[in-house]
Amino acid sequence: MAAGRQGGKSLCGAAALVWNLLLRPDLDELTEGSTRHGLAVANSREQAQILLGYARRLIENSPLLRHRLVGEREDRLVLEGGRVLVAMPCSDRLMRGLVASIIVLDEFGHFLSETIGPAVADRVYSAVRPSLTTFGEEGRLLAISTPLGSDNLFATLHARARNGELPSAAAFTATTAELNPRVSAEFLASERVMLGQADYEREYEAAFGAGSGQFFEDDAVRAVVGRYRELPPDEIVTAVVGFDPSFSVDPSAAAVVGRSSADHSQLVVARVERWLPTKTRRRRFRQSTGERQEVVDSVLDRVAAIATQYGAPVVTDQHVPATVIEGLRRRGVSRVDVRAWTAQSQTDAFRALRSFVYTGRITLPDDDQLVSELLRLRTKLRAGSSQVEVPRTGADHCDSAVALAAGVAELDRYGSGLDLDASVGDGGFLPLREALAGSRDVYDGSGRIDSSLSIDTQF
């Protein structure tokens, strides 16, 4: 069964386990005195215990069944008649030798091992199926999952069952909306924007994708491109400079992102700059110390000039942080924030940017390089989750797009849905989250707000 997120997959699995162990007494005749097991297998023992919890509640809430629960431990329920429901992680070593009348593989498409990766799904399947041998055609194996691409065992089995290639097997597909009417259409619409079409279809519509795809749609990006190449500082407020530094192979890039002075809910990218790496005068050799310092000085001079022009702090990643922080401070930039740039934080930053793009709440400059970089970004399924893949083309590593995402993520750190304003000092307006967390004159990170400033919240 391929099913959307929050549709009740684990509850369905628990119901199948309870039905088989407590409402199929005829299966006891086949065990010849052996203990009859129901196996709840998941990616971790903790996840498998979620099924155990659902099963316990189903039993305890049933006047017909509650007296048939005779004992329990952390990883199992002991039921009347020598039947045991066991929760276990996806390890093929743990399930050999057990006699089972039903097996539930929960989130089977996402089975992962630290040692052999996704190949653990094949090993578990091969090890666990013989546990059903005693029960022949009456044995049941239920594999339920949100899909994760089309190149794994769950996807293969689902396709073969759907096409009638597996005897006595059936394939089902159900969306989140079909399974769980409590999930509102408004929530699903917002998830479509946040995740993007491909990820949304996989997570909520149980669609098997190819495993990767374009992160931004062409029409969506071009729809938010403005008729300008650069905007003056008075067009934006609460500006921040996203800086993607590189002083050797890749280009460096900076993007000025702020809120429109006319509409604070609208983000505006006022300027994007990119500096190509300087070729060394000595071919076949690395840059000398002096040559590299020339590159560093040239790039930091330009970034500092932009930050000063817009009166904006600089946010950058952890690449040579000491060089960037000290270099910019010597050039008059008093605030430089370093953010950890991991695969997950990068993905979150680009998802925030995509949310603004798809809802039309951001305006981009008419910059062919930036648009090209955004359209080259890919979404890739890795280690059970979707991540943004930043491709490399020659010496280009989508640096302008990365700088833009860093700037947008900084302005959106407290959630783009929050729309409170604060009146600060002379009556100018700044978003409340920036007033409290983005300005060191107001909030210095110690938990103490400067009492010399008057902040009047307006709801």
Domains of the chain: 2-179 (3.40.50.300), 219-411 (3.30.420.240), 421-458 (no CATH)
In sequence order, the 6+-apart residues with CB closer than 8 A to the CB of 196 are 215, 216, 351, 354, 358, 379
pLDDT tens for residues 132-179? 999 988 999 999 999 887 778 898 999 888 888 888 899 999 999 999
Are 51 and 10 within 8 A, CB to CB? yes
Smallest CA-to-CA distance from 146 within 209, 196, 204 is with 204
Q: Which two tokens stand for residue 392?
A: 């490399």
**Measured distance between the N- and C-terminal CA atoms of the chain, rounded to whole angstroms:** 47
Strand extents, DSSP E, 216-325: 236-244, 252-260, 267-275, 314-316
Cβ atoms within 10 Å of 322's Cβ, excluding its own: 8
Q: Which two tokens stand for residue 397?
A: 């590593």
Cβ atoms within 10 Å of 159's Cβ, excluding its own: 14
Q: Phi and psi (nearest 5°) for 323?
A: -60, -45
Task: Please give the chain's pLDDT, 459 residues, in tens.
Answer: 999 998 899 999 999 999 999 999 888 887 777 889 999 999 888 889 999 999 999 999 999 999 999 999 989 999 998 899 999 988 777 777 788 999 999 999 888 876 677 778 888 999 999 999 999 889 999 999 998 877 788 989 998 888 888 888 999 999 999 999 999 999 998 888 888 777 888 899 998 875 556 788 888 899 999 999 999 999 999 999 999 998 776 789 999 999 999 999 899 999 999 988 765 444 444 557 777 788 888 899 999 999 999 999 999 988 778 889 999 999 999 899 999 888 888 989 998 998 899 889 999 999 999 998 998 888 776 555 678 888 876 667 789 999 999 999 999 875 443 333 333 333 333 443 444 343 333 333 333 333 333 333 332
Q: Which two tokens stand for residue 86?
A: 């066991």
In sequence order, the 6+-apart residues with CB closer than 8 A to the CB of 352 are 405, 408, 409, 412, 416
Residue 424's DSSP bridge partners are 428, 455
Smallest CA-to-CA distance from 253 within 442, 39, 405 is with 405
Specify the amino acid at residue 243. F
**Local structure of residue 449 (DSSP, 8 states):** B
pTM given for the model: 0.58
Q: Which two tokens stand for residue 198?
A: 């491909």
Buried b (16+ CB within 10 A) or exposed e, 332-361: ebebbeebebeeeebbbbbbbbbbbbbeee
